Structure 1
Amino acid sequence: MATFSSSFFCLHPPTLHQQTSNTIRTKSLKRTKPKSLTIVSGGYDIRKEEIVIVGAGIAGLSTAVSLHRLGVRSVVLEQAESLRTGGTSLTLFKNGWKVLDAMGVGDELRSQYLEIQGYDGYKNRKWKRAAIIQLQRRRSKSTKCVFGAYGNSQEVRAVERRTLLETLAKQLPLDSISFSSKLANIEKQEDGETLLELDNGSRISSKVVIGCDGIRSPVAKWMGFPEPKYVGYCAFRGLGDYPDGQPYESQVSYVYGRGIRAGYVPVSPTKVYWFVCFNSPTPGPKITDPSVLKKQTKELIKKWPSELLNIINATPDDTIIRTPLVDRWLWPGLSPPVSSGGAVLVGDAWHPMTPNLGQGACCALEDAVVLVQKLVPALKAGPTFIEDALRSYQNERWLRIFPMTVRANVVGAILQWENPVVCAIRDNVLVPKLIKLGPMLEHTNFECDPLLQNKMMFSSVKHLTAMAKFSSSFLPLYSSSLRQQRTIFSDAYNIRKEEIVIVGAGIAGLATAVSLHRLGVRSVVLEQAESLRTGGASFTLSTNGWKVLDSMGVGDELRSQYLDIKGVVIETENGRQLRSMKLREDQNREIRPVERRTLLETLAKKLPPDFISFSSKLATIEKQEDGETLLELVNGTRISSKVVIGCDGIHSPVAKWMGFPEPKYVGYCVVRGLGDYPDGQPYESCVNYVFGRGMRAAYVPVSPTKVYWFVCFNSPTPGPKFTDPSVLKKQTKELFKKWPSELLNVIDATPDDTVIQTPIVDRWSWPGLSPSGSLGGAVLVGDAWHPMTPNMGRGACCALEDSHVLVQKLAPTLKAGPAAVEDALRSYRKERRLVNFTLTVLSNFVGAFLQLENPMVCAIRDKVFATRK
Structure 2
Amino acid sequence: MAALSSSLLPLTSHFLHQKTTNPNLTHYSFPIQTKPHKTTKLSSPTIASIRKEEVVIVGAGIAGLSTAVSLHRLGVRSVVLEQAESLRTGGTSLTLFKNGWKVLDAMGVGDELRSQYLEIQGMVIKSEIGRELRSFTFKEVDQTQEVRAVERRTLLETLAKQLPVDSICFSSKLARIEENKDGETLLQLVNGTRISSKVVIGCDGIRSSVAKWMGFSEPKYVGYCAFRGLADYPNGQPFRPRVNYIYGQGIRAGYVPVSPTKVYWFVCFNSPSPGPKITDPLVLKNQTKELIKKWPSELQNIVDATPDDTIIRTPLVDRWLWPGFSPPASLGGAVLVGDAWHPMTPNLGQGACCALEDAVVLVQKLAPALKAGPMAIEDALRSYQNERWPRIFPLTVRANVVGAVLQLENPVVCAVRDNVLVPKLIRLGPIGHKTHRQQHNTLYHGRFSFFAKTPFTLTSMAALSSSLLPLTSHFLHQKTTNPNLTHYSFPIQTKPHKTTKLSSPTIASIRKEEVVIVGAGIAGLSTAVSLHRLGVRSVVLEQAESLRTGGTSLTLFKNGWKVLDAMGVGDELRSQYLEIQGMVIKTEIGRELRSFTFKEVDQTYSPKSVFDSYGNSQEVRAVERRTLLETLAKQLPVDSICFSSKLARIEENKDGETLLQLVNGTRISSKVVIGCDGIRSSVAKWMGFSEPKYVGYCAFRGLADYPNGQPFGPRVNYIYGQGIRAGYVPVSPTKVYWFVCFNSPSPGPKITDPLVLKNQTKELIKQWPSELQNIVDATPDDTIIRTPLVDRWLWPGFSPPASLGGAVLVGDAWHPMTPNLGQGACCALEDAVVLVQKLEPALKAGPMAIEDALRSYQNERWPRIFPLTVRANVVGAVLQLENPVVCAVRDNVLVPKLIRLGPMLEHTNFEFEPLHQTKV
TM-score range, shorter chain: 0.5 to 0.7
Does the 8 Å contact 1:147/1:439 carry over to 2?
Answer: no
- 1:523 is matched with which residue? 534
Aligned pair in 2 of structure 1 residues 528, 260: CA closer, same or farther (>3 Å)?
same
* Correspondence 1:346-745 to 2 at 5 A: 346-432=337-423, 434-436=425-427, 438-449=429-440, 450-457=442-449, 503-505=515-517, 523-528=534-539, 549=560, 552=563, 602=628, 605=631, 609=635, 614=640, 648-649=673-674
Aligned pair in 2 of structure 1 residues 511, 66: CA closer, same or farther (>3 Å)?
farther
Displacement, 1:106?
A: 2.0
Does the 8 Å contact 2:103/2:360 carry over to 1?
Answer: yes
Q: Quick one: which of 287, 290, 293 aligns to 2:281? A: 290
- 1:637 is matched with which residue? none
Identity over aligned pairs, percent: 59
Distance, in Å, in 2 between the alignment partners of 1:802 and 1:414 is 35
Distance, in Å, in 2 between the alignment partners of 1:173 and 1:279 is 44
Distance, in Å, in 1 between the alignment partners of 2:79 and 2:293 is 48
Q: Quick one: which of 306, 309, 313 aligns to 2:304? A: 313
Cα shift readout 1:178-206 (whole Å, capped 9, x = no counterpart): 11111111001100100001111111000
- 2:15 is matched with which residue? none
Does the 8 Å contact 1:505/1:612 carry over to 2?
Answer: no
Aligned pair in 2 of structure 1 residues 437, 832: CA closer, same or farther (>3 Å)?
farther
Q: Structure 2: give runs of 5+ residues left out of the alignment.
A: 1-37, 452-512, 565-569, 580-597, 599-608, 610-623, 643-656, 658-669, 677-683, 693-699, 705-738, 758-793, 843-848, 868-920
Displacement, 1:413?
A: 1.3
Secondary structure of residue in 2 paired with 1:192: coil
Letter of the structure 1 residue corresponding to residue 178 of structure 2: E
Distance, in Å, in 1 between the alignment partners of 2:833 and 2:315 is 43
Aligned pair in 2 of structure 1 residues 685, 271: CA closer, same or farther (>3 Å)?
same
* Correspondence 1:37-186 to 2 at 5 A: 44-123=48-127, 136=128, 138-186=129-177
Secondary structure of residue in 2 paired with 1:400: helix
Does the 8 Å contact 2:50/2:195 carry over to 1?
Answer: yes
Q: Structure 1: give runs of 5+ residues left out of the alignment.
A: 1-19, 24-37, 124-135, 460-500, 561-586, 589-597, 617-630, 632-644, 652-661, 671-675, 691-697, 708-761, 815-820, 840-869
Aligned pair in 2 of structure 1 residues 505, 668: CA closer, same or farther (>3 Å)?
closer
* Correspondence 1:685-834 to 2 at 5 A: 782-783=808-809, 828=856, 831-832=859-860
Distance, in Å, in 1 between the alignment partners of 2:411 and 2:801 is 43
Distance, in Å, in 2 between the alignment partners of 1:193 and 1:264 is 46
Secondary structure of residue in 1 paired with 2:63: helix
Secondary structure of residue in 1 paired with 2:136: strand
- 1:565 is matched with which residue? none
Displacement, 1:220?
A: 0.7
Does the 8 Å contact 1:90/1:159 carry over to 2?
Answer: yes
Q: Quick one: which of 216, 233, 238 aligns to 1:247? A: 238
Aligned pair in 2 of structure 1 residues 225, 678: CA closer, same or farther (>3 Å)?
closer
Secondary structure of residue in 2 paired with 1:440: helix
Aligned pair in 2 of structure 1 residues 429, 771: CA closer, same or farther (>3 Å)?
closer
- 1:577 is matched with which residue? none
RMSD over aligned CA atoms reads: 6.1
Does the 8 Å contact 2:517/2:674 carry over to 1?
Answer: no
Aligned pair in 2 of structure 1 residues 796, 615: CA closer, same or farther (>3 Å)?
closer
Displacement, 1:72?
A: 1.4
Displacement, 1:398?
A: 1.7
Secondary structure of residue in 2 paired with 1:330: coil
Distance, in Å, in 2 between the alignment partners of 1:527 and 1:86 is 62
Aligned pair in 2 of structure 1 residues 180, 502: CA closer, same or farther (>3 Å)?
farther
Displacement, 1:122?
A: 2.0
Does the 8 Å contact 1:524/1:612 carry over to 2?
Answer: no
Displacement, 1:551?
A: 5.5
Cα shift readout 1:77-102 (whole Å, capped 9, x = no counterpart): 11111111111111112221222222
Secondary structure of residue in 2 paired with 1:90: strand
Aligned pair in 2 of structure 1 residues 144, 294: CA closer, same or farther (>3 Å)?
same
Secondary structure of residue in 2 paired with 1:225: coil
Structure 2 length as normaliser, TM-score? 0.54
Does the 8 Å contact 1:287/1:293 carry over to 2?
Answer: yes
Distance, in Å, in 2 between the alignment partners of 1:324 and 1:225 is 19
Distance, in Å, in 1 between the alignment partners of 2:207 and 2:108 is 30
Cα shift readout 1:358-391 (whole Å, capped 9, x = no counterpart): 1111111111111112222222222122112211
Does the 8 Å contact 2:803/2:855 carry over to 1?
Answer: no
Distance, in Å, in 2 between the alignment partners of 1:283 and 1:222 is 24
Aligned pair in 2 of structure 1 residues 438, 689: CA closer, same or farther (>3 Å)?
farther
Q: Quick one: which of 304, 308, 322 aligns to 1:331? A: 322
Letter of the structure 1 residue corresponding to residue 535 of structure 2: V
- 1:568 is matched with which residue? none
Does the 8 Å contact 2:339/2:355 carry over to 1?
Answer: yes
Aligned residues: 608
Aligned pair in 2 of structure 1 residues 546, 433: CA closer, same or farther (>3 Å)?
farther
Distance, in Å, in 2 between the alignment partners of 1:600 and 1:169 is 65
Distance, in Å, in 2 between the alignment partners of 1:536 and 1:409 is 46
Distance, in Å, in 1 between the alignment partners of 2:357 and 2:859 is 14
Letter of the structure 1 residue corresponding to residue 98 of structure 2: K
- 1:721 is matched with which residue? none
- 1:729 is matched with which residue? none
Of the structure 1 ranges 65-74 and 106-115, higher mean CA displacement relative to structure 2 is found in: 106-115
Aligned pair in 2 of structure 1 residues 536, 60: CA closer, same or farther (>3 Å)?
farther
Letter of the structure 1 residue corresponding to residue 446 of structure 2: N
Does the 8 Å contact 1:783/1:795 carry over to 2?
Answer: no
Does the 8 Å contact 2:515/2:537 carry over to 1?
Answer: yes
Does the 8 Å contact 1:648/1:784 carry over to 2?
Answer: no
- 1:849 is matched with which residue? none
Does the 8 Å contact 1:117/1:148 carry over to 2?
Answer: yes
Letter of the structure 2 residue corresponding to residue 317 of structure 1: D
Displacement, 1:339?
A: 1.0
Does the 8 Å contact 1:231/1:325 carry over to 2?
Answer: yes
Aligned pair in 2 of structure 1 residues 80, 238: CA closer, same or farther (>3 Å)?
same
- Which structure's relative contact order is higher, taking Cα pairs within 8 Å and 6+ residues apart? 2
Displacement, 1:453?
A: 2.0
Does the 8 Å contact 1:545/1:797 carry over to 2?
Answer: yes
Cα shift readout 1:743-768 (whole Å, capped 9, x = no counterpart): xxxxxxxxxxxxxxxxxxx9x999xx
Displacement, 1:505?
A: 4.8
Distance, in Å, in 1 between the alignment partners of 2:190 and 2:559 is 48
Aligned pair in 2 of structure 1 residues 294, 650: CA closer, same or farther (>3 Å)?
same
Does the 8 Å contact 2:516/2:541 carry over to 1?
Answer: no
Q: Quick one: which of 308, 329, 341 aligns to 2:332? A: 341
- 1:202 is matched with which residue? 193
Secondary structure of residue in 2 paired with 1:80: coil
Does the 8 Å contact 2:100/2:357 carry over to 1?
Answer: yes
Structure 1 length as normaliser, TM-score? 0.57
Letter of the structure 2 residue corresponding to residue 525 of structure 1: V
Cα shift readout 1:804-857 (whole Å, capped 9, x = no counterpart): 65689999x99xxxxxx99x9799579449979999xxxxxxxxxxxxxxxxxx
Does the 8 Å contact 2:106/2:450 carry over to 1?
Answer: no
